[in-house]
Amino acid sequence: MNEALTVASQTLAEQARAALGQRNLIFVGLMGAGKSVIGRLVAQMLGVPFLDTDGEIERVSRMSITELFNAYGETEFRALETRVIERLLKQGPRVISTGGGAFINESTRGQIKTGGVSVWLKADLDVLWERVNRRDHRPLLKTANPKQSLENLMTQRYPIYAEADLTVLSENVRKEIVANDVLKAVAGLAKEGEKQ
Ligand SMILES: Nc1ncnc2c1ncn2[C@@H]1O[C@H](COP(=O)(O)OP(=O)(O)OP(=O)(O)O)[C@@H](O)[C@H]1O
Ligand SMILES: O=C(O)C1=C[C@@H](O)[C@@H](O)[C@H](O)C1
Ligand SMILES: [Mg+2]
C-alpha cells in the first residue's frame, strides 16, 4: 500500500471501527469474489479478529470442503455450515468471511442478518472466472462447463446476495483498494444513522 493510501485508510479504519461497534462484519458473495482475502485484510485494518467459515468447517471436521461434499453431500455440508456460522456470530466484533452458498441458505441468511452487518462483494463473471479458474478445489464447479455453472449460480444467487446490508464492487483492482471501499461503506453506516 502506498503511504498516502495508508494514512487515509487509517483514519477511515477508525471511522469504520466506530460505526461497527460490537457488531460482526460478515462477507457474502460468490466463489472468487474475494471474501477470504479481502475479509482478512479488512479485519487487520479494523483490528478485530478474522474468521473464515470454510476454514472453520475444515478445522472442526478435519476434512477438506471437497472431502465433505464427497462423503456427506451438499445438504450435510450446509447443515454443518449453519451450525458453525451460528457459533461464530455469537461473539462480536469479528470479521467473518462465509462460503459462497452460506447466505443463500435461508436459515443461515437469517442468522447473518441478525448477527451483524453483511457486505456483498459483487464481481462480474469474467473477474470471478479468472480467479476461480486458477484452482479446481470448488466442488460446485467440478462440472463439464464450470464457467457456465458459475454463470448459473450468478443468475440464481445475485438477487439474494443483494439483500446484504452493503454492496461493494470487487473489480480487477488491488486488494487494498477493495478493502478500502469496504471501510468506506462501513463508515458510511454511521453517517446514515446520523441522518435519521
Ligand atoms: N482484488 C483482487 N485482486 C487480485 N486477486 C484477487 C482479488 N480479490 C481476490 N483475489 C484472488 O482471487 C482468488 C479468490 O479469492 P478468495 O479465495 O478470497 O475468494 P472467496 O470469495 O473467499 O471464494 P470462496 O467462496 O470459494 O471461498 C484468490 O486467489 C485471491 O487472491
Ligand atoms: O458457493 C458455494 O456454494 C460454495 C462456496 C465455497 O466457499 C464453499 O463453501 C463450498 O465450495 C460451496
Ligand atoms: Mg473463501
Residue 188 lies in a domain: no
The pLDDT value recorded for residue 5 is 60
Q: Tens digits of per-residue pLDDT, 3-36? A: 666 555 559 999 999 999 999 999 999 999 999 9
Ligand 2 binding pocket includes 31 (Cβ within 6 Å)? yes
| Residue 92 pLDDT grade (very low, low, confident, very high; cuts 50, 70, 90) | confident
Q: Give the ligand whose atoms come closest to the C-alpha of residue 39.
A: 1
Please give the grid coordinates belonging to residue 98. 462465509
| CATH number, domain containing residue 132 | 3.40.50.300
Cα angle 174, 29, 53; round to 5: 100
Max CA pair span of the chain: 51
The pLDDT value recorded for residue 32 is 95
| Residue 193 pLDDT grade (very low, low, confident, very high; cuts 50, 70, 90) | low
Ligand 2 binding pocket includes 122 (Cβ within 6 Å)? no
Mean pLDDT across 44-64: 96
For the four alpha carbons of 5, 172, 169 and 102, in that order, the dihedral sign comes to: negative
Residue 10 lies in a domain: no
Residue 67 lies in a domain: yes
CA distance 186 to 98: 18
pTM exceeds 0.90 for this model = yes
Contact call for residues 128 and 30 (beta carbons, < 8 A)? yes
- Tell me how many domains the chain contains: 1
The pLDDT value recorded for residue 179 is 98
The pLDDT value recorded for residue 190 is 87
